[in-house]
Amino acid sequence: MGFIKGAFNQIADPRLFFLLAVGALLLAVWKREAVASNAVGYGMLALLGVFFVFGTFDANFRLIVTKPDNVPIVGLIFLLLFFVWYSIREGVLNDRRIAAGNGPIEKAESDRVWVWPDLVYTELISLILCSVVLIVWSILLKAPLEQPANPANTPNPSKAPWYFLGLQEMLVYFDPWLAGVVLPGLIIVGLICIPYVDKNPKGNGYYTFTERKAEITIFLFGFAVLWASLIVLGTFLRGPNWNFFGPFEYWDIHKLAALTNVNLSEYVWVRGLRTSYPSLYLVRELPGIILVLFYVMALPVILAKSLFKGYFEKLGAPRYYVTAFLFLMMLSLPLKMLARWIFNLKYIVAIPEIFFNI
Amino acid sequence: MADTKTVAPKEGPATQFWNWLTETQVWTSVFRHDRPDTDRNRVLVMLSNVFLHLHPVRIRKSGVKLRYTWCMGGLSFFLFLSLTLTGLLLMFYYRPTLEYAYTDIVGLREHVPLGIMREMHRWGAHAMVITVWLHMFRVFMTGSYKPPREFNWSIGVIMLVLTLLLSFTGYLLPWDQLAIWAITVGSNMARATPFLGYEGPGAQLLRLGDVPLIHAADDARFALLGGTFVGEGALLRFYVLHCVGLPLGIAVLMAVHFWRVRKDGGISGPM
Ligand code: HEM
């Protein structure tokens, strides 16, 4: 028992957790033919169910999972796993039909049916089921109410509402102006841009994977790994002082995490050139600024001439640059994570004088 | 030759009652068509009812399948309606002031027999966030954002943001520790807005001589909270946004969204 729990506590470490999530996604996409079978899908859900049942015997696990506001997130984990699996499966089934020359199943179902009764009854039944679920849920689980608001007493940890915990998790790696303002803004802009930059005419109105490999993989990475799995991490695995705690670990307020993070400027001037910092902050941060400018301005151009040449030609310059910029912004989070984990890198550019830290 | 006699089937009292009911002046004034079991009446039922008229009369076979839509858009809409209803009931009991907010919630909890309105509202809100995400995910996976539905996807993204903001503003209203600290953590971000937050990059540059234009009492966070911390002003602002502003906004967008689903050719399918 103790051994299994210890193993889970290890796996849940943010680094491993994130890498495993990425690995699981890549595996699911690569081995999608195998993943499409019912045995894999329902097997995964069953395993997850076993894990939660097993977990509830543990006091620490129970404490965090049964917090009323966390219950929906447990539901979210199951629903998300199911629907990600299900949509990949439908895609694979359609791809097989297309390969056999039959066209997607939606094509075979092109003829029209009457909305009354075919649709209105489906809607009615969904509505009734949804109401029943909601009412039973409301009877069984009381809405939380804690002590009256007290501005003088800050709880530890202080957490944002659960759907923003992915953003709060980003605060570990980025300052608030990026994690709380710029990147969320770019998520919204990026989502709105999707239909306008995606010029692939295929896969419109039916499930498929092979016809939209890159689009689907990127979206799954953003939605399932960056957004959803970081919410799960922030909700269940972050405790006092936003320290990491395994699912079976006691939330000890006094747990210490070594803070040994180092800025890029220290790496360059102090450790690399063995001098003191230049007094002008623009000079001090020059290496970082060059790196960031390279990433944002030069890299898209270089990629357009090399790795992404095909995309550049297909999309045309405006669409390509918008896409490349948004894509690089999305990748900035995992890249910063890696830099933190491997080099203990704190800031690439650190100008606290004007609150400008990257 | 045997006699062929047609015998009218014997009508039970239920059928008799039904026949009588559907011929009364009241009934015929409400429903302008017979039961929708013929093609003609199936058209009429959709056209003569303003709510059903959101639908087309006929629809792709693939589009009515749970397999295709997961019914997630429909469930989002239904949850929104049920949240409107339960929210309305909650408004009868709740006063958004420092003095009453918390005690009103305690009252709802302690004094309303079998009360589950607060639960239905809270869990419904969580559920709606999840269904909207899954709806977006389904729309992506079926490629339904592609032409001609690009604009409806954009409307959807705005509604997603509004859904989150509705949930966020509602989170503050119980005025307990959970509420104010979650909102404090969330709204602290606004303080770091570039140029517009007083701890945001570039804000120092905006000054007239020695006088900073952006400071704690006029920056983006102040606009959000109506104060420099989560207090009375924030409670009122969040209440008004939560009960009036945001629901109105999302309702208008939903009307556009549904209209566009139909105008863009109904539920998507392969050409
Ligand atoms: C407030 C939340 C929302 C509600 C109530 C809503 C409702 C609906 C409904 C009832 C449909 C009909 C088909 C279906 O049920 O799947 C639909 C379709 C659609 N929705 Fe939404 N939606 C919402 C949010 C969104 C979001 C966040 C997006 C995308 C970012 C989106 C994009 C679309 C598109 C593109 C269609 C057309 C799909 C097709 O033709 O297959 N909607 N929506």
Nearest Cα neighbor of A113 from B74, B266, B142, B63 is B63
On whether the CB atoms of residues B56 and B266 are closer than 8 A, the answer is yes
Nearest Cα neighbor of A110 from B65, B165, B4 is B65
Nearest-CA distance A134 → chain B (Å): 6
Which residues of chain B neighbour A288 with C-beta distances below 8 Å? none
Tokens linked to B148: 């001609």
Range(s) of the domain holding residue B73: 63-263
Q: Please give the pLDDT value at position A197.
A: 95
B234: in domain: yes
| pLDDT, mean of residues B106-114 | 85
Beta bridge partners of A345: A262
The pLDDT of residue A130 is above 70:
yes
What does the mean pLDDT of chain B come to?
91
The pLDDT of residue A257 is above 80:
no
* Domains of chain B: total: 1
Distance separating alpha carbons of residues B87 and A103, to the nearest angstrom = 47
CA distances from A39 to A94, A208, A270, B16, B66 (A): 19, 20, 57, 53, 21
The pLDDT of residue B25 is above 80:
yes
Residues in chain A: 358
**What phi and psi, each to the nearest 5 degrees, are found at residue A236?**
-95, -25
Helices B117-141, B101-111: inter-axial angle, 10-degree rounding? 100
Measured between CA atoms, the residue of chain B closest to residue A150 is B177
Q: Please give the pLDDT value at position B133.
A: 97
Q: What is the 3-state secondary structure (H, E, C) of chain A?
A: CHHHHHHHHHHCCHHHHHHHHHHHHHHHHHCHHHHCCHHHHHHHHHHHHHHHHHHCCCHHHHHHHCCHHHHHHHHHHHHHHHHHHHHHHHHHHHHHHHHCCCCCHHHHCCCEEEHHHHHHHHHHHHHHHHHHHHHHHHHHCCCCCCCECCCCCCCCCCCCCHHHHHHHHHCCCCCHHHHHHHHHHHHHHHHHHHHHHCCCCCCCCCCCCHHHHHHHHHHHHHHHHHHHHHHHHHHHCECHHHCECCCCCCCCCCCCCCCCCECHHHHHHHHHCCCCCCCCHHHHCHHHHHHHHHHHHHHHHHHHHCCCHHHHHHHCHHHHHHHHHHHHHHHHHHHHHHHHHHHCECCCCEEHHHCEEC
Distance separating alpha carbons of residues A226 and A334, to the nearest angstrom = 8
On whether the CB atoms of residues A198 and A323 are closer than 8 A, the answer is no
Closest to B144 (Cβ–Cβ): which among A148, A167, A205?
Answer: A205
The pLDDT of residue A317 is above 80:
yes
Q: B125 falls in which pLDDT band (50, 70, 90)? A: very high
| pLDDT, mean of residues A303-322 | 94
Amino acid (one-letter) located at A294: F
CA distances from A126 to A99, A123, A259, B59 (A): 34, 5, 51, 18
| pLDDT, mean of residues B101-105 | 95
Atom of ligand 1 nearest to the CA of B162: 1
CA distances from A257 to A141, A169, A243, A245, A261 (A): 35, 16, 7, 11, 11
| pLDDT, mean of residues B167-190 | 93
**Contact: A354, B204; criterion CB under 8 Å:** yes
**What phi and psi, each to the nearest 5 degrees, are found at residue A324?**
-65, -40
Q: What spacing in Å lies between the alpha carbon of B135 and ligand 1's midpoint?
A: 6
Closest to B186 (Cβ–Cβ): which among A160, A200, A216?
Answer: A160
Q: What's the predicted TM-score (pTM) here?
A: 0.93
**Contact: A204, B143; criterion CB under 8 Å:** yes
Nearest-CA distance B251 → chain A (Å): 19
B34: in domain: no
What does the mean pLDDT of chain A come to?
92
The pLDDT of residue B8 is above 70:
no
- Cβ contacts of residue A191 below 8 Å, gap of 6+? B136, B157, B160
Instruction: Report the residue of B178, B207, B224, B268 to disrupt the A interface, i.e. the one with the largest count of A CBs within 10 Å.
Output: B178
Number of other residues whose CB lies within 10 A of the CB of residue A52: 15
Which residues of chain B neighbour A355 with C-beta distances below 8 Å? 192, 199-201, 203
Selection from B24-33, B120-129, B193-202 with the highest mean pLDDT = B120-129
B39: in domain: no
Higher pLDDT, A10 or A20: A20
Residue that is written with structure tokens 């359609």 in the block = A94
| pLDDT, mean of residues A286-313 | 94
pLDDT digits (tens, 9 = 90+) for A188-221: 999 999 999 999 999 999 999 999 999 999 999 9
| pLDDT, mean of residues A227-248 | 91
**Strand B207-208, strand B211-212: pairing:** antiparallel
Classify each residue of A294-309 as buried b or exposed e, where b means 16 or more C-beta atoms within 10 Å of its C-beta.
ebeeeebeebbeeebe
- Cβ contacts of residue A231 below 8 Å, gap of 6+? A73, A76, A162, A163, A165, A166, A169
Instruction: Report the residue of B99, B100, B142, B154 to disrupt the A interface, i.e. the one with the largest count of A CBs within 10 Å.
Output: B142
Q: Please give the pLDDT value at position A307.
A: 93
CA distances from B92 to A179, A310, B234 (A): 38, 61, 21
Percent of chain B with pLDDT over 90: 62
B24: in domain: no
The pLDDT of residue B7 is above 80:
no
Residue B59, SS3? strand
The pLDDT of residue A45 is above 90:
yes
The pLDDT of residue B2 is above 60:
no
On whether the CB atoms of residues A265 and A289 are closer than 8 A, the answer is no
- Cβ contacts of residue A281 below 8 Å, gap of 6+? A351, A353
| pLDDT, mean of residues A6-29 | 91
The pLDDT of residue B91 is above 70:
yes
Q: Where are the domains of chain A?
A: 1-104+203-253, 112-143, 264-357
The pLDDT of residue A80 is above 90:
yes
The pLDDT of residue B141 is above 80:
yes
Nearest-CA distance A1 → chain B (Å): 34
Q: Please give the pLDDT value at position B9.
A: 67
**Contact: A139, B116; criterion CB under 8 Å:** yes
Closest-CA residue, ligand 1 atom 13, reads B73
B36: in domain: no
B147: in domain: yes
Closest to A177 (Cβ–Cβ): which among B119, B175, B193?
Answer: B193
Name the DSSP class of B176: B
B27: in domain: no
Measured between CA atoms, the residue of chain A closest to residue B179 is A149
Instruction: Report the residue of B62, B138, B158, B219 to disrupt the A interface, i.e. the one with the largest count of A CBs within 10 Å.
Output: B62
The pLDDT of residue B135 is above 60:
yes
Of A163-167, A270-274, B204-208, where does mean pLDDT reach its minimum? B204-208
On whether the CB atoms of residues B183 and B176 are closer than 8 A, the answer is no
Element (H, E) at B150: helix B150-172
Residue that is written with structure tokens 């104060």 in the block = B227
Q: Please give the pLDDT value at position A32.
A: 94
The pLDDT of residue A146 is above 70:
yes
The set of long-range contacts for B105-112, using a CB threshold of 8 Å and a minimum separation of 24, is B105/A145, B105/B173, B105/B174, B105/B175, B105/B176, B106/A145, B109/A142, B109/A143, B109/A145
Q: B207 falls in which pLDDT band (50, 70, 90)? A: confident
The pLDDT of residue B1 is above 60:
no
The pLDDT of residue B170 is above 60:
yes
**What phi and psi, each to the nearest 5 degrees, are found at residue A6?**
-60, -40
Q: Please give the pLDDT value at position B124.
A: 96
Tokens linked to A198: 């995606």
Residue B27, SS3? helix
| pLDDT, mean of residues A277-305 | 93
Amino acid (one-letter) located at A228: A
CB of residue B131 inside a 6 A radius of ligand 1: no
Residues in chain B: 271
The pLDDT of residue B5 is above 70:
no
Of A241-255, B118-132, B163-177, where does mean pLDDT reach its minimum? A241-255
Q: Please give the pLDDT value at position A148.
A: 93
Q: What is the CATH number of the domain that holds B141?
A: 1.20.810.10
